[in-house]
Structure 1
Amino acid sequence: MRFKENKAIYLQIADLICNNILQGRLSEDERIPSVR
């Protein structure tokens, strides 16, 4: 994922998660793996 500099990263991640749920790629109760 490439982040845009004009929007906070946490907002971009939240948008990505919401879009994936709406498009059926993630279910509402599915855990998202952490990556460090």
Structure 2
Amino acid sequence: MKMCICFGLAYILQIDMYRLIIMNQQIYTHEFIEIRF
């Protein structure tokens, strides 16, 4: 049971990290485009 909860938390955290990385990339590319043009 504990293993299942741990895997569930890891899965949720992984999704959050993935979302944060995507948002950071979008912000970075947006700033990069603004600086470039």
Task: Give the TM-score category using the shorter length.
Answer: 0.3 to 0.5
Q: Which structure ranks higher in relative contact order (CA pairs < 8 Å, sequence separation ≥ 6)? A: 1
Q: TM-score, normalised by structure 1?
A: 0.46
Q: Bigger radius of gyration, 1 or 2?
A: 2
Q: TM-score, normalised by structure 2?
A: 0.45
